[in-house]
């Protein structure tokens, strides 16, 4: 199974409670960003473009715990930046596990193998390793030669140590669906519990603005990748979110479903857009003009967004919002469809990317190591 039964039960009872109390807008996963500093400089990332004094800033464990208590979600995702650069990350994770929160600690895994001893295996903790495809594609995407090999070593070490390991793959224009499918096979063979895949979204601050996917190309790409799938593949996203990516379902964005807390406070309206900050979670929910966001709103910044942080909560809400939604979801979990699709197979066989792989600067291992040491020191 993609997630432990205890986690599935905890999330289901939490969502049902929100429904029974008539709460229309509720958080599902807290996106907790304890720092923006990173030991990579990915061309599609808008988080590391802040000035040095911001990149040196960090949330304290107490601030993290307070945000979790305010929000009340059963799951906490810890992105960044690179969380393993935070000197108190083991303390933060241990505190969240003690509170019985299901934690997905996102990491590029460059430091995972050497820091693994600082953590304890738990059903509440999963290392979510960011891998953007096979070796060549991943190294281009993260602008670092050898990054894929180090990340795979970290994954294997974590699996061998008894940790839960999931992966997160972000796809950009030019991705080869055949390569992505081989990537899924490699991850399953390495012992990964489950995988998440999502299209990249345009960060205003991202150095490379030319390779983000539009909706039409996203659906075409994900139809080729996720149709005719192998039974061995396990995904830790809602099955109806996968169908949304393939163009089989249409969900509006629920930006409040995965609220973000960082060194600036509660980010309006979501993890990807920055339209101000609130001091408290209640203020975020009450003062954000939610109707101004999502494709339906006509907001041009939301027009092509199909990312996980905006739409998986929508699939979960649909799941528990009606008998129809519940039955549809139950069928997906019980029968685990492969989505047989002859046209999609033909598309896969004849796939030609819109253009070549992004031309981004690749760091040598030596240069990357220098940057990593600089990031750790905060200089």
Q: 169-205 burial, b if ≥16 CB within 10 A, otherwise e?
A: bbbbbbbbbeebbebbebbbeeebbbbbbbbbbbbee
- Long-range contacts, stretch 359-363, CB < 8 angstroms, 24+ apart: 360/43, 360/140, 360/141, 360/143, 360/208, 361/143, 362/139, 362/140, 362/143, 362/144, 362/145, 363/41, 363/143, 363/144, 363/145
269 three-state secondary structure: strand
How does pLDDT run across 164-175, given as a tens digit for each residue? 999 999 888 778
342 Cβ partners below 8 Å, 6+ apart? none
> pLDDT at residue 46 above 50?
yes
pTM of this structure: 0.89
What mean pLDDT is reported for the chain? 89
Give dist(CA 196, CA 204) in Å, integer: 24
Q: Residue 44: pLDDT above 70?
A: no
pLDDT at residue 358 is higher than 60:
no
Q: What is the mean pLDDT of residues 347-351?
A: 91
**Residue 290 DSSP code:** G
Q: Return the pLDDT at 254.
A: 96
- Tens digits of residue pLDDT in 92-114: 999 999 999 999 999 999 999 99
- What tens digit of pLDDT does each residue of 177-213 get? 999 999 999 999 999 999 999 987 654 444 444 444 6
Q: Which residue segments constitute the domains of the chain, with CATH numbers given?
A: 28-377 (3.20.20)
Dihedral, CA atoms, 152, 157, 158, 161, nearest 10 degrees?
A: 160
Q: What was the pLDDT predicted at 217?
A: 87
Contacts of 310 (CB under 8 A, 6+ apart): 253, 254, 255, 257, 258, 270, 272, 294
81 or 360: whose pLDDT is higher? 81
How far, in Å, CA of 192 to CA of 14, rounded? Answer: 26
What is the C-alpha to C-alpha distance for residues 110 and 82, in angstroms, rounded to an integer? Answer: 9
Confirm if 254 and 310 have CB atoms less than 8 A apart.
yes
Q: Which tokens in the block code for residue 134?
A: 């096979």
Lowest pLDDT segment from 23-27, 255-259, 327-331, 368-372: 368-372
For 191, the 3-state DSSP assignment is coil
């Amino acid at each position: 199974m993609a997630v432990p039964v205890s986690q599935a039960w905890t999330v289901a009872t939490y969502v049902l409670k929100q429904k029974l109390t008539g709460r229309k807008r509720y958080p599902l996963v807290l996106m907790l960003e304890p720092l923006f500093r990173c030991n990579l400089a990915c061309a599609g990332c808008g988080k590391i473009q802040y000035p040095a004094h911001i990149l040196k800033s960090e949330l304290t464990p107490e601030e993290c715990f307070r945000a979790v208590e305010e929000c009340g979600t059963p799951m906490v995702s810890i992105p960044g930046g690179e969380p393993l650069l935070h000197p108190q990350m083991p303390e933060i994770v241990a505190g969240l596990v003690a509170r019985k929160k299901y934690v997905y600690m996102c990491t590029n895994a460059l430091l995972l193998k050497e820091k693994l001893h600082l953590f304890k295996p738990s059903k509440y903790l999963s290392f979510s390793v960011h891998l953007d495809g096979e070796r060549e594609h991943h190294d281009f995407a993260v602008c670092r030669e050898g990054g894929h090999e180090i990340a795979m070593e970290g994954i294997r070490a974590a699996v061998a140590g008894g940790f839960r390991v999931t992966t997160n793959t972000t796809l950009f224009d030019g991705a080869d669906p055949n390569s992505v499918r081989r990537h899924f096979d490699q991850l399953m063979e390495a012992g990964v519990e489950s995988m998440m895949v999502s299209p990249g979204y345009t960060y205003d601050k991202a150095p490379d603005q030319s390779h983000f996917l539009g909706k039409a190309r996203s659906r075409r790409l994900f139809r080729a990748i996720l149709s005719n799938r192998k039974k061995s593949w396990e995904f830790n996203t809602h099955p109806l979110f996968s169908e949304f990516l393939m163009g089989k379902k249409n969900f509006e964005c629920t930006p409040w479903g995965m609220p973000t807390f960082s060194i600036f406070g509660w980010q309006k309206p979501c993890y990807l857009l920055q339209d101000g900050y609130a001091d408290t979670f209640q203020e975020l929910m009450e003062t954000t003009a939610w109707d101004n966001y999502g494709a339906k709103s006509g907001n041009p910044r939301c027009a092509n967004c199909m990312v996980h942080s905006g739409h998986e909560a929508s699939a979960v809400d649909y799941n528990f919002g009606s008998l129809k939604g519940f039955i549809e979801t139950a069928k997906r979990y019980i029968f685990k469809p492969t989505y047989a699709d002859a046209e999609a197979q033909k598309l896969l066989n004849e796939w030609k990317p819109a253009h070549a792989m992004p031309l981004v600067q690749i760091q040598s291992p030596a240069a990357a190591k220098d940057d990593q040491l600089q990031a750790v020191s905060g200089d």
